[in-house]
Amino acid sequence: MTEPADWARSDRARERARDLSLLLAVLLALLGVVLLAVYFLALNGGAAPRLAELALARVPQSGVGNPVTAVLVNYRAYDTLVELAVLLAAVLGIWSQRPAPPGFQRSSAVLAGMVSWVVPLLIVTSGYMLWVGGYAPGGAFQAGALLGAAGVIVRLAGDPTAGLPGEAVQRWLLVLGVLMFALVGLALMLLGAGFLTYPPKLAKWLILLIESAATIAIGTALAAAYVGGRPSAKGQGPSAGEASAAPSSSSLGPRP
Amino acid sequence: MSQPALLLAFDIVLLTTLLALALAAVLSPEPRRAVMLFIAFGLWLSLVWARLHAPDVALAEAAIGAGLGGALMLAAARRAARAAQRGTARRADDGAR
Amino acid sequence: MTAQFLYGGAGLILFVLGLWSFLVHAPLLRKLIALNIMGGGVFHVLIAVAYRGDGVTPDPVPHALVLTGIVVAVSATALALVLGARLQDEQRQG
């Protein structure tokens, strides 16, 4: 008896949803036209003074040859410091939500063999990326992303921890980026320079130090985000082994 | 054709493909397909940025945006597909009852 | 100038497309894809503004902003996915 009414209601709801989405499409198309017009006018408005000249002129003093790295770690170091803090906050949020879900099944010999080739290659490439970032495209983010990708591959091949160390060590690795940044900044303050104002002589080595720490922190954070939960210690709470048969459904474990 | 005209044609091809990939990703109702298209979109975006002389950003987008973001979303799509399967199974049970 | 307008315009269209999908589609994963496409559009506009023609070094400042933005976007996506999974689990149990 109730079925035809249900059908009618869902039909009407679907019609209303379609109307709404069309209306939104029209409104947003108008918004798009306005944005395009503003962008066109802004482009035709003539060249406003840009930061590019200033940024490019100061690259030789920044301690690195790649202008993007110079902006990231030297001129706008605050941005990058706070960004590392955002990454850390995201991992903390993920850890607070649930324990790590169980991993995938162990890979076969073929995939395992490939992984044992690819992962070291990724780590070496990551080191290269970090070093080359000083004077060519590359840098801490790309290097960290490669480390994170290595973690993802390890987890896909069956290691539930994504190759990351235990929770205590992982915490230190995660805060390493922010910590090194802040310590360098504070040390510079003690020496009389401003917070994160590198003296040109030391700039190269300080930037390399910060970038290495940031690479490790970014790689750990991205791999931890892929694991998707707090790495619970063995024997505490629902662990990986407990729920191997029905992965995601029982990943939360019994609740009180 | 002169070189600027060729370059313009190249730009238009790049951008048309980019917008088509984005549209396909947004309109696809099947989660796994949408994620695949999103990964393709991210990789294409990094190609476009390489054309705009931004190799640093292109590298980061290919590795982080498309690679890691895609891996995260694929895991979620797998979960969504399994949940949907369970949902239809339950509905079929209810219908049989 | 033409190239800058074309690429920036494509970024604006991507932004609007993502915004539309974000408002219209209900599932979390589709919303996240839409949000990421919106972000991609914004990054695209920034990169197009930084581009100053072939043979001229592009403006490094927007590039650095976009690099930061990419990492923040992916970490926000990861957090949103875990929150969504948690919500799904809670709904199934409650």
pLDDT given at position B78: 86
pLDDT given at position A31: 93
pLDDT given at position A3: 52
Instruction: Enter the tokens of residue B42.
Output: 């991210």
Mean pLDDT of A36-40: 91
pLDDT given at position A93: 94
pLDDT at residue C91 is higher than 90: no
pLDDT given at position A19: 87
Minimum distance, in Å, between the CA of residue A189 and any CA atom of chain B = 31
Instruction: Enter the tokens of residue A232.
Output: 């619970």
Q: Which of B56, B72, B79 sits opposite A248 (nearest CB)?
A: B79
Q: Which of B71, B72, B82 sits opposite A248 (nearest CB)?
A: B82
Close Cβ partners of C41 (under 8 Å, ≥ 6 residues apart): C11, C12, C13, C14, C15, C16, C17, C18
Q: What amino acid is encoded at B3 in this protein? A: Q
Write out pLDDT tens, residues B1-46. 578 888 889 999 999 999 999 999 999 998 899 999 999 999 999 9
Element (H, E) at A216: helix A203-227
Q: Which of B41, B54, B75 sits opposite C58 (nearest CB)?
A: B54
pLDDT at residue A236 is higher than 70: no
Interface touch C66/B65, C-beta < 8 Å: no
pLDDT given at position A240: 41
Write out pLDDT tens, residues A15-34. 888 888 899 999 999 999 99
Which tops the pLDDT comparison, A252 or C51? C51
Buried/exposed code over C3-41 (b: 16+ C-beta within 10 A; e: otherwise): bbebbbbbbbbbbbbbbbbbebbeebbbbbbbbbbbbbb
pLDDT band at C39; cut points 50, 70, 90? very high
Instruction: Enter the tokens of residue A51.
Output: 């930061």
Chain C contact for B44, CB < 8 A?
no
The total number of structural domains that make up chain C: 1
Contact (Cβ atoms closer than 8 angstroms) between residue B16 and residue C10: no
Q: In this structure, what is the dihedral angle of CA atoms A138, A139, A140, A146, given to the nearest 10 degrees?
A: 20
Contact partners for chain B, using 3 or more CB pairs closer than 8 A, are: A, C
Please, what sign has the CA dihedral across residues A64, A66, A70, A72?
negative
Q: Which of B56, B67, B79 sits opposite A149 (nearest CB)?
A: B67
Which of B87-96, C47-56, C67-76 has the lowest average pLDDT?
Answer: B87-96
Q: How far apart are CA A181 and CA A169, in angstroms?
A: 19
Interface touch B56/A138, C-beta < 8 Å: yes
Helix H, strand E, coil C: the string for A168-202 is HHHHHHHHHHHHHHHHHHHHHHHCCCCCCCCCCCC
Task: Please tell me which residue of chain C has the smallest CA distance to B77.
Answer: C29
Chain A contact for B90, CB < 8 A?
no
Chain A contact for C57, CB < 8 A?
yes
The total number of structural domains that make up chain B: 1
Which tops the pLDDT comparison, A63 or A83? A83
Close Cβ partners of A66 (under 8 Å, ≥ 6 residues apart): A133, A134, A135, A136, A137, A138, A139, B56
pLDDT given at position A130: 92
Q: Which of B63, B68, B82 sits opposite A226 (nearest CB)?
A: B68
Domain that holds residue C70: 2-93
Chain A contact for B56, CB < 8 A?
yes
Exposed, middle or buried: residue A140 (CB in 10 Å: 0-12, 13-18, 19+)?
A: buried
What percentage of chain A carries pLDDT values higher than 70? 86
Instruction: Enter the tokens of residue A38.
Output: 């503003």
What percentage of chain A carries pLDDT values higher than 90? 39
Q: What is the CATH number of the domain that holds C50?
A: 1.10.287.3510
pLDDT at residue A248 is higher than 70: no
Write out pLDDT tens, residues A143-192. 999 999 999 999 989 888 888 888 889 999 999 999 999 999 999 989 88
Minimum distance, in Å, between the CA of residue A21 and any CA atom of chain C = 6
Task: Please tell me which residue of chain B has the smallest CA distance to C1.
Answer: B8
Domain that holds residue B90: 3-96
pLDDT band at A6; cut points 50, 70, 90? low
pLDDT at residue A2 is higher than 50: no
Q: How far apart are CA A146 and CA A1, in angstroms?
A: 59
pLDDT band at C26; cut points 50, 70, 90? confident
Write out pLDDT tens, residues A92-118. 999 998 888 888 888 888 888 999 999
Which of A103-112, B82-91, C10-19, C57-66 has the lowest average pLDDT?
Answer: B82-91
Contacts with C, B 12-41, CB within 8 Å:
12, 15, 18-19, 22-23, 25-27, 29, 31, 34-35, 38, 41
Chain C contact for A98, CB < 8 A?
yes
The strand pairing partners of A99, in sequence order, are A230
pLDDT at residue A238 is higher than 50: no
Chain A contact for C52, CB < 8 A?
yes
pLDDT band at A72; cut points 50, 70, 90? confident
Q: What amino acid is encoded at B1 in this protein? A: M
Contact (Cβ atoms closer than 8 angstroms) between residue B46 and residue B65: yes
Q: How far apart are CA A120 and CA C3, in angstroms?
A: 41
pLDDT at residue A233 is higher than 60: no
pLDDT band at A234; cut points 50, 70, 90? very low
pLDDT given at position A21: 87
Chain A contact for B87, CB < 8 A?
no
pLDDT band at C1; cut points 50, 70, 90? confident
pLDDT band at A253; cut points 50, 70, 90? very low
Interface touch C74/B64, C-beta < 8 Å: yes
